[in-house]
Amino acid sequence: MKRQARVHRLAMSSPDDVSGLTGGIDPDAVVAVIGKTEGNGCVNDFTRAFAVRALTDALPRPGITMVMSGGTEGALSPHMLVLEAGMGAGASPALAIGTARTPALPPEGLGSAAQVQIVAEGVRAAMADAGITDPGQVHFVQIKCPLLTAGRVAEAEARGQSAATRDTLKSMGLSRGASALGVALALEEITAGEVGDLSLWSARASTSAGIELLDHEIVVLGMSDGWCGDLVVDHAVMADQIDIVPVRDCLDRLGFAPGVQIGRDEQPRLVALLAKAEAGSTGTLRGYRHTMLEDSDISSTRHARGFVGGALAAMVGHGQIYVSGGAEHQGPDGGGPVAIIARRKGTS
């Protein structure tokens, strides 16, 4: 008997729909829930907290990491991934899951080298929890990180400290970026780095900021000999919003039949796709101007999720995939990491 990961992908009919949790799920084995809700994914998106409240009522055991990402633009479909860590027998190495929480970050530390360090240590702890020692075995690190509020900035200032910004929306980007650099540091993708230097990035970090925490919740997905079972994970990096060739290469490595779209017969094997998307800083895609950064009616993160979501959904044959916006230091400028969890060929 070894540890064995199970992943359930559940449709959500509304942000507070937890009806999918009944049947086939062992509440005691659940270690994390990662999901997409149908809000705007920006500052005033309450669908994330609404979902977490319903999930917490349904899964009241403490210590379960819950990361909800808002925004299901286009035909992206609200859903959640329920991650279990149980015991079983089967092939190894297999998908390994580890979680960790960091100490609380004081407001003045947000976006700083201190946050990078604290997250790097947290990622190492989550790797240890997963039994992964080689950073090369890690394929995806999902982090929920804090943001600044007016109250938090004031609290820091009352102690004679100053925060990096007073702009709540901007603080989300700074926190996501510092957290991603923390991942890059722990995974030895960089040796040191400054938030804002866009040449530095992690190929495996996915970070989301939330108002409901002061520390960091971390989920590491990797491959480990200490785990067994049908599930495996691999990853790719998109260099821009339509860089699908590396994603297709990843599908090749996972044994999916060639083609522009996964066929119906193979879809049960594709358990989950998780990706980050962003407009990038240049205002162009391969030399052609786009308008995501100048649209004052729709946030660029909404544009990016819908567009990249279309590119990726077309590859896998459906829209029940996790595409999250705001990819600071997560993949190169304009691009983002993609992780795929699949059943081994011949097992579904």
What distance in Å separates the CA atoms of residue 323 and residue 271, rounded to the nearest whole number? 15
Determine which one of 144, 206, 224, 300 is catalytic: 144
Site string for its own copies, 281-320 (x = CB under 8 A): --x-xxxxxxxx-xxxxxx--xxx-xxxxxx-xxx-xxxx
**Does residue 144 carry a catalytic annotation?**
yes
Q: How many CB atoms lie within 10 A of CB 26?
A: 11
Task: Write 211-214 long-range contacts (CB < 8 A, 24+).
Answer: 211/49, 211/146, 211/147, 211/149, 212/49, 212/52, 213/144, 213/145, 213/146, 214/104, 214/105, 214/146
Q: How far apart are the first and last CA of the chain?
A: 21
The one segment of 26-34, 49-57, 123-131, 213-221 that binds its own copies by CB under 8 A: 49-57
Site string for its own copies, 166-205 (x = CB under 8 A): --xx------------------------------------
Determine which one of 206, 208, 224, 299 is catalytic: 208
Site string for its own copies, 8-27 (x = CB under 8 A): ---x-xxxx-----------
Exposure pattern of 141-164 as b/e (b: 16+ CB <10 Å)?
bbbbbbbbeeebbeebeeeeeebb
Q: Does 214 bind its own copies (CB under 8 A)?
A: no
Indicate the residue among 3 and 48 with the shorter CB distance to its own copies: 48
Indicate the residue among 43 and 114 with the shorter CB distance to its own copies: 43
Counting beta carbons within 10 angstroms of the beta carbon of residue 246, is it exposed (0 to 12), middle (13 to 18) or buried (19 or more)?
middle
From the CB of 259, what's the least distance to its own copies, in Å? Answer: 8
Indicate the residue among 77 and 348 with the shorter CB distance to its own copies: 77
Q: What beta strand segments (E) does 146-290 contain?
A: 205-209, 217-224, 227-228, 231-238, 270-277, 284-285, 288-289
Catalytic residues: 144, 208
Residues near its own copies (CB under 8 A): 11, 13-16, 38-40, 42-47, 49-50, 53-54, 72-79, 150, 168-169, 241-242, 244-245, 248, 259-261, 279, 283, 285-292, 294-299, 302-304, 306-311, 313-315, 317-320
